[in-house]
Chains A and B, each alone.
Chain A
Amino acid sequence: MPDHPLDDALREWLPRLRRFALWLTRETSSADDLVQATLERALSRWSSRREDASLRSWLFAILYRQFLDGRRRAQRHAWLLGRLRAEEEPQAPSAEREAMAHSMLQAFGRLSAEQRSLLLWVTVEGLSYQEVAQILDVPIGTVMSRLSRARAALRRLGDGETTIVPLRVLK
């Protein structure tokens, strides 16, 4: 069957989507389920895509919304079962825990899903603030204040574990 031109673009983004999903779900198999659901939605919604959004922010937005929907469903389900608990982060498997021995990753893993997403988008994926605002559907000023909170939280959680060589800004 002929290859769709979109497929190559999606393939290119696949590793980044998987990495992002992994840091949202913290678990490899649910991360891939999330990526699969994202790609299915991307393929079915391709024609109704808004032209002004970049492909990457569009894909990240789909993934993020799928994640939130899934979490809401899981919470409703938990409520129906009468086992409502505060949201618990799943235990990372041991191999991952090893990798997370790195204190930065440990601190990062303790941030909320939205804060993890924000920092991934901005510092790792290099999305523009405008793209992040589109994904979260909030004004750009809100992105900025949430980014401040996320950075402060990461600092607080990592404090005492990461050391900073104090450098004076001499300008």
Chain B
Amino acid sequence: MNEPSEHDIHAYVDGRLEGERRAAVELYLARHPERAAQVQAWQHDAQQLRAALVGAQSLPPNPALDPSAIRMRRQRRRASRLAMAAALVLCVGLGGLGGWQMRGWQVARAMPPMGDALAAYRLLALDPGARPDLVPQHRGDLQAWLDHHFARGVPLPDLDAAGFRPVGGRLFATEQGTAAMVLYQDAAGHAISFYVRPPGPRRYLLPHGQRVDDGLLAQYGSGNGYNYAMVSRAAGSDAQVAARALQPLI
């Protein structure tokens, strides 16, 4: 009779062979004791291996390996790359304006206050391809998201009265920790952003102030240990809406 194929021998060892082909292997082995001994030894080894490995070690739980933890780390890395790219774009832009403000030794000092808030606004509000981390499904989603990332509590400004509704939130990485931006839009598609971050280097508490950069107005200040900025179009009434929203925070 024909010798069974290598495939059928292994399938027999692994208990994956049924019917006629199984019977054929059994018949062959009955007539070839040396081959039967080998197959039996393989079966024995496989059983031993299963028993030994399954019982051998139970690894201690490692929370860092949870998929959600890994997802979050990826997101942070992406956010920090984006923030870095945005900061670079801003630096180049400022350099082009004649080295404005490049009087400090450190890049950090050369960056005007809340430059990252403006960069974040441009990234998310002006680029139609940019996607927020969180699109609120229910009232309270964004507040819960802020509470999760800012231990001291950051009240989400309510711009409903002016017709601006929150449409998305996005995290950014800064050297001092997580920063977040919530984007609001009104029916006309105008955007206002609320930006919160831990205090930056050398400007522990930001004095209340504002500045205009390329048609955008950033109004900023500090309160409760965080720096806040509202960014809006410099023209029109959006600036007053932003100013009113910032008032209770600083």
Contacts and interface: CB of A to CB of B under 8 A. Distances in A.
A80 interface: no
B70 A36 contact: yes
Contacts of A145: 6
Given A144-B6, A171-B27, A104 B54 contact: no
Nearest to B47: A123
B65 A23 contact: no
B52 A104 contact: yes
Contacts of B42: 151, 155
Interface stretch (B33-41, B180-188, B212-220, B240-248): B33-41
Given A145-B6, A164-B41, A171-B30, A123 B14 contact: yes
A159 to B, nearest CB: 9
B97 interface: no
B133 interface: yes
B7 A7 contact: no
Q: How large is the interface on B (under 10, 10 to 19, 20 to 34, 35 or more residues)?
A: 35 or more
Interface size class of A (residues with CB under 8 A): 35 or more
B101 interface: no
B45 A162 contact: yes
Interface string B1-43: 0000111011101100000000000110110010011101110
A154 interface: yes
A158 B41 CA distance: 11
A11 B67 contact: yes
A28 B52 contact: no
22 contacts: A1-B72, A1-B133, A7-B66, A10-B67, A14-B66, A18-B65, A32-B65, A43-B71, A96-B57, A99-B56, A105-B53, A119-B46, A120-B53, A122-B14, A124-B54, A144-B5, A144-B7, A144-B10, A145-B6, A151-B42, A167-B40, A171-B29
6 closest cross-chain pairs (CB), A and B: A7-B67, A123-B46, A144-B6, A169-B36, A104-B48, A10-B67
